[in-house]
Amino acid sequence: MELDGPNNILVLTEVRITTQSGYTIKAGQARTTDANNFNNSKWTFSNKVQINTPNGSSSAETAIVTFSGNQINTLHVTGSPATFEQHMGDKTVAQGHAENIDYDLSQRTVRLTNQAWVSYGQNECRAVSLVYNIALQRVSANREEQQGQRINCTISPATSTATPLSP
C-alpha cells in the first residue's frame, strides 16, 4: 500500500474488492486520487483485472471504475481484447469481446467498441461498435458508429423440439 496524503492518492497492490451488491474486482494494482471519499470515487485497476458480478464476469488489462453512493456506477474495461460474459436465467450465456467495453449499470447495457463481437444463444454479431442490453437480451448497432464498416450478424434458427406426425 502506498498513500500520498497531501495529493490524496492511494495505490494498493494485489487487490480484491467486494461490494455489497455482489461485485468482486481483483487486480494486481488499484489507484485512486479520491482516497478520502470512497463513496464517490474513481479507481483505475490494472494488471490482470478480473471482475465478477452476480450473473457474469469480465476480464481486462485495465478497468476504470466509478463509485457513486458506495455502489459501482460505471465500468470501463480495456484489453487486447477485454471480455465479458453474462449468464441468463434460462441458462443462455451472452459473451463478447472488444478492445473497449463500457458497462452502464443503471441502464443495464454493455457497449463494446473496436473489434466488437457478441454471441448470445445461437446468434452472434461483429462490428466496430455493438451494444448489448442485459435486461432485454438484445444486441444493437448504431450505423453512425461503424466507421464505414459493415455490421455482420449470424442469426441461427432455434432447434425444433416438435415431434413429427406419423402417417
Number of domains forming the structure of the chain:
1
106 domain-assigned = yes
Range 36-46 burial, b when 16+ CB lie within 10 A, else e: eeeeebbbbbb
Closest CA to 9 of 1, 21, 17: 1
Grid cell for residue 79: 484489453
136 domain-assigned = yes
159 domain-assigned = no
Residue 166 has a pLDDT of: 55
Range of the domain at 63: 2-34+41-154
Grid cell for residue 121: 444463444
Q: Are 17 and 69 in contact (CB under 8 A)?
A: no
3 state SS of 27? strand
* CATH number of 16's domain: 2.60.450.10
164 domain-assigned = no
163 domain-assigned = no
Q: Are 52 and 60 in contact (CB under 8 A)?
A: no
Residue 160 has a pLDDT of: 59
Residue 141 has a pLDDT of: 95
Q: Are 32 and 43 in contact (CB under 8 A)?
A: yes
67 domain-assigned = yes
94 domain-assigned = yes
Grid cell for residue 110: 454493455
Residue 137 has a pLDDT of: 86
Q: What is the mean pLDDT of each run of 10 residues along the chain (167 residues)?
A: 86 92 94 85 95 93 91 91 89 92 91 96 93 91 94 83 56
160 domain-assigned = no
Q: Are 129 and 141 in contact (CB under 8 A)?
A: yes
Residue 167 has a pLDDT of: 55
Residue 11 has a pLDDT of: 95
Residue 88 has a pLDDT of: 81
